[in-house]
Amino acid sequence: MGVAQPKTGTDSEPQAEVPAAGWRKVAAARHPRRPRCSDFIAALFSDFIELRGDRCYRDDPAIVGGVGRFEGHSLVVLGHEKGREAKERVSRNFGMPFPEGYRKACRLMGLAQRLGLGVLALIDTPGAYPGLGAEQRGQMQAIARSLEVMLTLEVPTVAVVIGEGGSGGALALGLADRVLMLENATYSVISPEGCASILWHDPAKAGEAAAALRLGAWELAQEGLIDEVVEEPEGGAHVCAAATFASLARALARHFSEIRRWNPRARVAKRLARFLACGRYEEAELAG
């Protein structure tokens, strides 16, 4: 898989620069004018119909889903939606889904499976919502289930981290045949603030945490945890959204045309093998 090399800097900046560099990535991924999931859907799809509700409890506006046409193919689209204006941001819970959001995603992935449609997932969330109602309705079970459903789809799947890839709530839509990241997106096991608060006992160390977590797109591509970095215009996706959309559309067309050729059973085996191979560890020879 051709992964382009980082254009700038590596990890060997002088010590004092490290927290600042780490934080710049986080700030870019969270930029208030960064294109949102709905903007990508509007730009990438020639027709899109939103489908709502988990058929159990309610519709969760933090995850949008529906069917649309991309390059002549119908796809099921899922994505975290943070919203733009203050009121919409609140109604979308700042892109932090409740369990019903993941259950809607599972329902729509099931639809894709039955109708043989590919799935595109656009990831942009600080994380799954850590509130009381979310807990009471089984946030952990909803995420665990979404991971299972997505991993076993026999249809072609691509996930793209377009902004913030915040821990399990992001990964729940991320177990795809191909995983891409926009250049200024981040993908992390925990928010830098949460990490700083737990490990440093000081939320003000979020810059240090961001640098230590190596959450940038180029870093993750180097580790082999994602397949491709999709370049953004100089200054970030919001500077020229049209160029960002075009750049992603090209990458998506290429990946979908490649993975569409896999046969369905081999596809699941391949996807399972990909995620089973994730990780590096050591193995000591122990006596006895």
Partner 1 sequence: MPADPNPASPSSLPCPGCAAELKVAALAELLWVCPACGYHFPLAARQRLEQIADRGSFAEWDPGVGSRDLLGFVDRIPYHERLRLARERTGLREAVLTGAAKIGGYAVAVGVFDFRFMGGSMGCAVGEKLARLFGRAAARGLPVLLVVASGGARMQEGCYALMQMGKVTAAAVSFKRGNLPYVALLTNPTTGGVAASIAYQADLVLAEPGAVIGFAGKRVIEDTIKMRLPAGAQRAEALQERGFVDIVVPRPQVAPMLARLFGLLGAGEQGGPGPQAAKGEDDGSGAAEDGDRF
Binding site for partner 1 (CB under 8 A): 128-132, 134-141, 143-145, 147-148, 151-152, 167-168, 171-172, 174-175, 187-190, 194-195, 198-201, 208-209, 212-215, 220, 223, 225, 271-273, 275-276, 278-286
Residue 282 amino acid letter: E
Strands (E), 9-94: 47-50, 63-70, 73-80
Q: Is 246 left (phi over 0), alpha (psi -120 to 50) or beta?
A: alpha
Cα–Cα dist 181/20, whole Å: 21
The dihedral built from the CA positions of residue 241, 93, 69 and 103, taken in this order, carries a sign that is positive
Distances (CA, A) of 152 to 93, 110, 116, 266: 29, 10, 13, 11
CA angle centred on 172, ends 139 and 272, rounded to 5°: 130
- What's the closest the beta carbon of residue 124 comes to partner 1, in angstroms? 16
**Which residues make beta-bridge pairs with 131?**
none
**Helix (H, G, I), strand (E, B), or coil: what is residue 178?**
strand
- Please give the backbone phi and psi of residue 172, each rounded to the nearest 5 degrees, phi first: -55, -25
- Please give the backbone phi and psi of residue 138, each rounded to the nearest 5 degrees, phi first: 85, 55
> Tokens in use for 128?
């799954």
The burial of 222, by beta-carbon neighbours within 10 Å (0-12 exposed, 13-18 middle, 19 or more buried), is given as middle
